[in-house]
Amino acid sequence: MKEITLRVFRYRPEAEAEPTFQEYAVPLRDDWAVLDALNYVKEEIDPTLSYRWSCRMGICGSCGMTVNGDPKLSCGTFLVDHAPGPITVEPLRNFPVIRDLVIEMTDFMQKLGAVQPWIIRDESDDDPDTELLQTPSEMDDYKRYSMCINCMLCYSACPVYGLDSKFIGPAAIALAQRYNLDSRDEGQEERLDVLSEDEGVWGCTFVGECTRACPKGVDPAGAIQRAKLIAANEAVKAFLLPRWVR
Amino acid sequence: MTTDFWQRLHRQRVPLLWWTSRRTYLLFVVRELTSVAVVWFVVYLLLLVRSVGAGPGDYERFLDWSAQPWMVVLNALALALAIVHTITWFMVTPQAMVLKVRGRRVPGVALAGALYVAWFAVSAVILLLVLA
Ligand code: SF4
Ligand code: FES
């Protein structure tokens, strides 16, 4: 069986001050993704290698890594597409590294919570026995943003986030828009407080790399520009109109 | 922000020349830099308005100044950059603008097409005014 070399980023904080690279030869199988190769390494060659994964089918968003320089889901990136190799596997960029390919994601989790990614609604007038119906066109408004799997590839691709991690970032804004544009939601104003800050939508310079990196076709860059329009509109209204008209 | 647990994290740094590491980053930086040409045309227009306001003598001097070879080269270069700026922004506009007509999203090509039509129409009017 043909083989391919993986050049894997290693960082063992208890043993070494700086990261190193370690090479592993793995079978080059047509149906193997980078994640399968890492699992092979862990089971057959080196049980000390650390990385995150769960579903193996592009759903859970936990296996994001930098493969040959690009942010990728390692379960969806096939060895044969990078043959003859070597394939360099590094942790996602722009995040602190805990160990090997495992990054620290508290920052992202906190930002995600900050935009309140759930339906905010005053339900006191709703009849509990009636469904809140939505037309296909209303659903179209937010559907693509709802496909996000929180894989953080977009943060890894974003140079703005890399240079200043205070920027709230692509997926958080896309998810805010997922709810803002939902006809059942009434939380736009609350979310706007977070989004319209300097570190919110205005941090974005529209590089557009988040959209190219996203494995789910979410288009966070588009979501951010649309959120900018809303934020700008509201700012102009707040400036020109008295409160009771707005 | 990180967790409260003690960890010796490895910090990844963005290299100084990060914008050369990908073609798309480089294109972005070029697009941003071409805005300098747009600023130049604003300044140039203001200078023109000032000279017109100051009387015929000043206006003549402005025309002579503009006819110098280096000014012509500068303006030609600025025009090229401004065109690149416009086209690259038109390319990304459909992503930022969602227009719905009768519940359906207007396709990006149509949106960008409308922008080009408007651009050429305005340019044609200006050209007519100048030539007439
Ligand atoms: S927007 Fe796309 S790249 Fe970003 S976290 Fe969601 S699925 Fe991943
Ligand atoms: S393992 Fe779940 S997305 Fe890759």
Domains of chain A (ranges, CATH numbers): 3-103 (3.10.20.30), 106-240 (1.10.1060.10)
Residues in chain A: 246
What pLDDT was estimated at residue B5?
Answer: 66
What is the predicted pLDDT for the residue at A196? 86
Q: Is A9 on the interface with B (CB under 8 A)?
A: no
Contact A228 B25 (CB under 8 A): no
**Is residue A223 lining ligand 1, measured as CB closer than 6 Å?**
no
Half-sphere exposure of A228 (CA within 13 A, CB side): 19
Task: Read off the pLDDT of each residue in A217-237 and give the average, rounded to a whole number.
Answer: 89
Contact call for residues A207 and B31 (beta carbons, < 8 A): no
State the closest ligand 1 atom to the C-alpha of A61, by its place in the atom list counted from 1. 8
Q: What is residue A219's predicted lDDT score, i.e. its pLDDT?
A: 92
Residue B3: per-residue pLDDT: 65
Residue A243 has pLDDT above 80, yes or no: no
- Site from A107, A164, A207 to mutate, B interface, most B CB atoms within 10 angstroms: A207
How large a percentage of chain A has pLDDT more than 70?
A: 98
Report the residue of chain B nearest A162, measured CA to CA: B14
Which protein residue's CA is at the shortest distance from atom 2 of ligand 1?
Answer: A214
Dist. CA B7 → ligand 2 center (Å)? 25
CB-CB: which of B3, B22, B92 is closest to A106?
B3
CATH of domain B16-84: 1.20.1300.10
Kindly state the average pLDDT of the residues A144-150.
96
Going through A119-232 in order, the beta strands assigned E by DSSP cover none
| Interface residue A104 vs chain B (CB under 8 A) | yes
**Which residues from chain B sit within 8 angstroms of residue A135, using beta carbons?**
103
**Distance in angstroms (rounded) separating the CA atoms of residues A138 and A191:** 20
**What gap in Å lies between CA A138 and CA A178, rounded to an integer?**
12
CB contact under 8 A, B9 and A96: yes
Does A19 have pLDDT greater than 90?
Answer: yes
A228 part of contact set with chain B, CB < 8 Å:
yes
State the complex-level ipTM. Answer: 0.80
CB-based contact B10 A96, cutoff 8 Å:
yes
Report how far ligand 2's centroid is from the alpha carbon of A60 (Å).
5
pLDDT in tens, A30-45: 999 999 999 999 999 9
Q: Is A217 on the interface with B (CB under 8 A)?
A: no
pTM: 0.88
Q: How confident is the model at residue A169 (pLDDT cuts 50, 70, 90)?
A: very high
Torsions phi, psi of A78, nearest 5? -90, 145
| Confidence (pLDDT) at B1 | 66
Long-range contacts of B86-89 (CB under 8 A, 24+ apart): B86/B119, B88/B27, B88/B31, B88/B34, B89/B31
B23 touches chain A (CB under 8 A): no
- Residue A246 pLDDT > 70: no
Pocket test for ligand 2, best of A34, A39, A55, A92 (most atoms within 8 A of CB): A55
A87-90 vs A3-10, strand pairing mode: parallel
Which stretches in chain B have pLDDT values below 70? 1-5
Contact B10 A140 (CB under 8 A): no
From CA A42, how far away is CA A177, in angstroms rounded? Answer: 39
- Is the pLDDT at A10 greater than 80, yes or no? yes
At residue A130, the 3 state secondary structure works out as coil
With 70 as the cut, is the pLDDT of residue A98 above it?
Answer: yes
Question: What confidence category does residue A229 fall into, taking pLDDT thresholds of 50, 70 and 90?
Answer: confident
Kindly report the average pLDDT of chain A as a whole number: 93
Q: Do B95 and A209 touch (CB under 8 A)?
A: no
Evaluate if residue A245 carries a pLDDT over 70: no
Tokens encoding A196: 């319209």
Kindly report, as residue ranges, where domains of CATH 1.20.1300.10 are found in chain B. Answer: 16-84
Q: Which amino acid is at A166?
A: K
